[in-house]
Amino acid sequence: MNGQRFFLLCGLLVVMAGWAVAVPARAGGDDAAAIRQVMAQQAVAWNRGDVANYMRGYKDAPDTTFVGSKVRKGYRTILDGYRKHYATAQQMGRLTFFELDVRLLPGTDGEVRYAAVTGRFHLDRAAHGEVAQDDGVFSLLWEKTADGWKIILDHTS
């Protein structure tokens, strides 16, 4: 009888542990979905030729960083770079994100405040500005802010 109780208790602990893990995972799924939603909104804005609304996915801060052919620091600097390199809607073309991998990064307290996202992009366009690249890869570091998920580091190549 003691052996049966032991196995019953172990089984109950395994079930409880699985349940306890499922709750944060569901919440994490909400965070991943929120990030994907921001990226979908960015693509819609880009495809309208609306750089200002595309940039709403970035944190408006002096330390927000974009790494491409060179390193740009600061929200305004990144915005100005996009406006310079993609001066017209024809140069912007149609943006598609794909192969997205959203990896949530919990802190020591278990709270998710950051996320790493990797993926690929494609620009379908006829006109090219200063940037001739139509396809590439990116890695993004996101921060969960009071205003929602925001990109704080963008490395696109």
Which of 54-68, 79-93, 132-146 shows the highest mean pLDDT? 54-68
**Which whole number is the average pLDDT over 57-72?**
97
Give the Cα separation of 49 and 43 in Å (integer).
10
Q: Could you tell me how far CA 109 lies from the centroid of its own chain?
A: 22
pLDDT at 50 over 90: yes
Range of the domain at 105: 2-156
**pLDDT of amino acid 131:** 65
**pLDDT of amino acid 83:** 94
**pLDDT of amino acid 99:** 97
Q: pLDDT tens digits for 125-138? A: 877 666 666 899 99
Total domains present in the chain: 1
Residues composing the chain: 157
Indicate the range of 33-42, 109-118, 124-133 predicted with least confidence. Answer: 124-133
Please give the mean pLDDT across all residues of the chain.
83
Query: CATH code at 33?
Result: 3.10.450.50
Q: pLDDT tens digits for 16-32? A: 333 223 233 334 579 99
**pLDDT of amino acid 91:** 86
* CB distance 138 to 118 below 8 Å: yes
**pLDDT of amino acid 16:** 30
The residues near 49 (Cβ < 8 Å, ≥ 6 apart) are 88, 89, 92
Q: What are phi and psi of 6, to 5 degrees?
A: -60, -50
